[in-house]
A and B are shown apart, each in its own frame.
Chain A
Amino acid sequence: NFMLTQPHSVSESPGKTVTISCTRSSGSIASNYVQWYQQRPGSSPTTVIYEDNQRPSGVPDRFSGSIDSSSNSASLTISGLKTEDEADYYCQSYDSSNQVFGGGTKLTVL
């Protein structure tokens, strides 16, 4: 099994741009799609990015996803930060028989 490693926390000011990384420990990041979930306190997770870079309907285009094979990592970028973006963010991917979540990143918007 592989692991997905995220920074524990990031912080940025409103209106700025923040990028959260997600590094795959083994196997190619490009071999299986990466998803990103947002979880606000006391709420269930919601999908903000699926299939590496696709946004579900209703998710603002301030959210974007990408993968970088050279660093074997995926990234979630949030531009024009709003206080409502403050939440935990989880990356996720899979292999033939497992779904794997990153440890989560707490985003503080201050």
Chain B
Amino acid sequence: EVQLVESGGGLVKPGGSLRLSCAASGFTFSSYSMNWVRQAPGKGLEWVSSISSSSSYIYYADSVKGRFTISRDNAKNSLYLQMNSLRAEDTAVYYCARGLTTGGSPDYWGQGTLVTVSS
């Protein structure tokens, strides 16, 4: 059974930093691209970042480019999102999602971790 478990969310002040983690199990992690997708309170889904299976290809939404860094450790079956220079508009539930082999779109999703940026 595919399982994705996010952690690391919490309350942070504007301008602060946070590192999210996603622990993967139930599939060969090193064979799949991975995504971070967020959802602001009461809003829709917003893609944040994607990373290919070997970390060769990394992409970011314009809204987070230069502030967020995605990475992965295939030996630890883990995905990360380093978030710097956080803003109030980054407040959201952040989901880790496995990528389909065709195009990398999310197929399995974690339960999400809430990030709140507020003073």
- Report A's interface with B, CB cutoff 8 A: 32-33, 35, 37, 39, 44-47, 50-51, 56, 88, 90, 92-94, 97-104
Contacts and interface: CB of A to CB of B under 8 A. Distances in A.
B105 A94 contact: yes
Nearest to B107: A47
A23 to B, nearest CB: 16
Contacts, number: 63
Contacts of A37: 45, 106
A50 to B, nearest CB: 6
Interface residues of B, number: 22
B103 interface: yes
Contact of A47 (B35, B104, B106): B106
Given A90-B44, A104-B44, A45 B103 contact: no
B45 A50 contact: no
Given A44-B95, A51-B100, A97-B59, A103 B106 contact: no
Interface stretch (B19-27, B79-87, B109-117): B109-117
The 9 closest A-B pairs by CB, nearest first: A99-B47, A104-B44, A101-B45, A44-B109, A35-B105, A97-B59, A94-B103, A103-B44, A45-B109
A100 B59 CA distance: 12
Contact of B61 (A39, A51, A98): A98
Contact of A45 (B45, B100, B102): B45
A104 B45 CA distance: 8
Nearest to B62: A1
Given A44-B112, A51-B100, A101 B44 contact: yes
Given A101-B45, A103-B44, A94 B107 contact: no
